[in-house]
């Protein structure tokens, strides 16, 4: 029984050493130190009772410098604050080039807008009959009076249009004289008296 235990112990130690060597080679090649490998190394130490770690110990950071830092300028006395500030020389300002002449010159003329040749927005012109700017240039029909149609365009729903285009709003070459004649005693349908008889009676 003792020899069996010794053989089992030696086999376990050989297996553990082989496993440790494989892990060492793997992590040396790939520079990997994971938490699983660290746990495996701890278990190997517990089994074999070794003092050395199964894996190479990870590199430790260098200790921080514990040298005494200089005090802040605010903690220094007033007369020493100016000495503690870094004295950096200031760069001289670059002089701007001044114009040789101070006279104002007019700006160069540009060619202006390029849409003058595209302004084809005139659709209506003056009507020969009603005088409104309602005669369509392409349709050749007045939108207000219906010229060149013989019938005057007229609707009862357009009250203001009827008021603007009724009798008395145009030239009235004949009707404008009729009321004035009747006011002056004009008699219609009568026979004029002979001038000789009037002169003889007188």
Task: List pLDDT tens digits, range 182-197.
Answer: 778 888 888 888 888 7
- Return the pLDDT at 161: 92
User: How far is C-alpha 103 from the geometric centre of its chain's CA atoms?
Assistant: 39
Q: Which is more confidently placed, 176 or 107? A: 176
Task: Please give the Cα distance from 15 to 39 (Å, whole number).
Answer: 17
Instruction: Band the pLDDT of 180: cuts 50, 70, 90.
Output: confident
Q: Which residue has the tokens 């003056």?
A: 126
Closest CA to 1 of 9, 99, 76: 9
- 148 pLDDT above the threshold of 70: yes
Task: Please give the Cα distance from 84 to 72 (Å, whole number).
Answer: 8
- Return the pLDDT at 42: 72
Instruction: Band the pLDDT of 53: cuts 50, 70, 90.
Output: very low
Instruction: Band the pLDDT of 26: cuts 50, 70, 90.
Output: low
H-only helix segments in 114-177: 159-164
Task: Please give the Cα distance from 127 to 133 (Å, whole number).
Answer: 6
**Mean pLDDT of all residues belonging to the chain:** 74
- 51 pLDDT above the threshold of 50: no
Percent of the chain with pLDDT over 90: 19
């Amino acid at each position: 029984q003792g020899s069996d235990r010794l053989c089992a112990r030696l086999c376990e130690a050989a297996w553990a050493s082989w496993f440790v060597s494989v892990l060492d080679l793997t992590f040396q090649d790939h520079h990997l130190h994971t938490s699983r490998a660290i746990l495996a190394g701890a278990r190997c130490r517990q089994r074999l009772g070794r003092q050395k770690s199964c894996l190479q110990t990870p590199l430790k950071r260098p200790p921080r410098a514990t040298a005494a830092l200089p005090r802040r300028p605010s903690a220094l006395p007033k007369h020493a604050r100016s000495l503690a500030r870094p004295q950096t020389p200031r760069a001289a300002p670059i002089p701007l080039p001044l114009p040789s002449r101070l006279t104002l010159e007019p700006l160069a003329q540009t060619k202006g807008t390029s849409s003058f040749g595209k302004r084809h927005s005139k659709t209506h012109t003056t009507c020969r009959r009603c005088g409104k700017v309602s005669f369509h240039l392409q349709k050749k029909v007045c939108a207000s009076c219906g010229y060149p149609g013989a019938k005057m365009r007229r609707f009862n729903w357009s009250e203001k249009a009827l008021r603007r285009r009724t009798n008395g709003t145009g030239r009235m070459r004949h009707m404008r004289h009729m009321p004035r004649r009747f006011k002056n005693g004009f008699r219609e349908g009568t026979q004029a008296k002979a001038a000789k008889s009037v002169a003889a009676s007188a």
